[in-house]
Every structure is written in structure tokens, then in C-alpha cells.
Amino acid sequence: MPTFPLNLNRMPSPTLKLTEIWIRRWSRVAELTANIEPDDHRLPAIHTILNDCDAAYRDRNDKQFVEAGRRLRALIASEASWTIPNNPPEPVRVA
């Protein structure tokens, strides 16, 4: 599992408390990214979206966090839907 670089200058204040909703949101982000490998070609885009999530969390911007989460989910889902069939169908021959 990759480790993401932390920008210590942008870390939230230690006095900020996580509410239940934020815990659920970050848990969902963790679930979505759990199987991302260090050599995954989507990693730069994922890092960008995670930075957007972090900024939204620090600003307590619900709408921005949800939007970033949707982008993350779409990015992960689009790649997961790509499959290579074991036995592709024969091409249709036109006489």
C-alpha cells in the first residue's frame, strides 16, 4: 500500500475534532483507495483528489469534500470496469 506524502504546513489543527460524518467520509476514502498499488497509473490523479479532500476537510466544506469523493469514486470505478474477456466473441462475417 502506498504512503502518501504529508504536507505538514497544511495539517489541520490538533484542536479540530472529527465528527462522525467526517470519520465516515474519510473511512469511505480509505475503502476506495485500499487496493491502489504504488505503480498504478492513476496515482497522480488520486493524489490530487486526496489533496482536494484534505483542503475541504480543513475548511469544513461539506460540498467540496463530497464532490471530490465522487470524482475519486468515478476514477476508481472506471478502471475497475475495464475487463479483458478470456474468450472474445468471434467477429461477425458479412457475406
| pLDDT, tens digit (0-9, with 9 covering 90-100), for 46-88 | 999 999 999 999 998 999 999 999 999 999 998 664 544 455 5
Q: How far is CA 76 from CA 3, 15, 43, in A?
A: 18, 33, 10
Residue type, 7: N
**CA of residue 5 relative to chain centroid, distance:** 15
With 0.95 as the threshold, say if the pTM is over it. no
Grid cell, residue 95, equals 457475406
| pLDDT, tens digit (0-9, with 9 covering 90-100), for 29-48 | 999 999 999 999 999 999 99
pLDDT at 25 (0 to 100): 92
